[in-house]
Every structure is written in C-alpha cells, then in structure tokens.
Amino acid sequence: MRKITLITTGGTIEKTYDEHTGELANRRSLVRRMLSELRLEDTEVNVFELMSKDSLQMTEADRIRILEAVRATGACEEEGTGGIVVLHGTDTLALTGQYLYDHLDGPRVPVVLTGAMRPFEMKQSDALQNLTEAIFAIGVLPPGVYCVAHGQALPFPGVRKDTERGTFVKG
C-alpha cells in the first residue's frame, strides 16, 4: 500500500463561489471531493488541512507552518514508498517551493507542490488533472522538491510561474 500525505493550504484550486455575494474565496478544503472522483488503487491518501488561504496573502510565518507540516510527516527521516503533496495557490507556489527546497535538508521522499489556474468547481479547471499528476508523480519521482502541473514535473530550484502561458517553467 502506497501512502501519501496531502497538505492543503488553499489557493485557487480550492476556491468556492458564493452565490449570495458573488465572491470566489477559500472557505473550506475541497480536496476530499476531488479525491472521491479518482480511482487510486493501493493508495492511501491522508489529508492534513493546514490552512485555507489565497497564496497572495501567505506570509513568512505561513511558509514556516508548511515547512513544519512537511517535516512532521517524516519527509527527512526515513526513506519510504510514500511522499507528500502540497496543494497551494499558484501565485506564490514557486516561493514556497523554493523555501522548502532551501530548508528541508535533503528530503527522503518526493515533496510535490501543485495548484490550479482555475478553481475545481469551475468548468475547464486544471485542478483535478494537476492533483492526479501530483499523486502519480509521487510514485515515480526520486526524493526532492517539485512543482507538478500541466503534464510537467519541475524540480526546484528555479521554478517560476509564467503568467502569459498560465503554467510553470524552469528558469
């Protein structure tokens, strides 16, 4: 049985629309609903709801909390068959990924950050694709810190969001 820890932090991937106010915001985690749409053979996903924030509102203290949550899963202690997926807003995903890369001191499992350019609840969202790719990537990537989205697995350092193309790139 493959074990994956999924840490939610909010971001566009989990934003919901409020019909009364017309607001698109982070209110609660939607990841369990997303996971229910996937067929994951011999895979146990443990969800840890850390925060529910737009990544543009994330602070240094939030990045420290994410780092501590990743460390608490045992990412640096013992090599295993699992890994960690961090759901994150795309606007500052690269900052958090770089922060984890700089402070993890050699993870023993893949640590994959992913998000979405369009919320899960919207048509033509990339949320479910990116979550699926991140879970798959955990099983094939060597230990390290990665951004996985839109058919790519990009290792840190040097990952950035290309706003014109609406994806992540190296360099």
What pLDDT was estimated at residue 152? 96
What pLDDT was estimated at residue 78? 59
Q: How many residues does the chain have?
A: 171
How far apart CA 105 and CA 76 sit, in angstroms, is 7
How far apart CA 7 and CA 81 sit, in angstroms, is 17
Segment holding 3, helix H or strand E: strand 2-10
Please list the pLDDT of the chain residue by residue as tens digits (171 residues): 888 999 999 876 665 655 666 665 555 667 787 788 788 888 889 999 899 888 889 999 999 999 999 999 876 665 555 899 999 999 999 999 999 999 998 899 999 999 988 776 667 788 889 999 999 999 999 999 999 999 999 999 999 999 999 899 998
Indicate which residue of 5, 8, 9, 12 is catalytic. 12
Segment holding 110, helix H or strand E: strand 110-114
What pLDDT was estimated at residue 17? 57
Instruction: Tokens for 126, please give them.
Output: 């990339």
What domains appear along the chain, each with residue ranges and CATH number? 2-170 (3.40.50.1170)
Active site residue 96: no
Which residue in 65, 122, 106 sits closest to 88, CA to CA?
65
Bridge-based pairing of strands 159-162 and 167-170 is antiparallel
What pLDDT was estimated at residue 10? 83
**Neighbouring-strand partners of residue 113:** 86, 147
What pLDDT was estimated at residue 68? 95
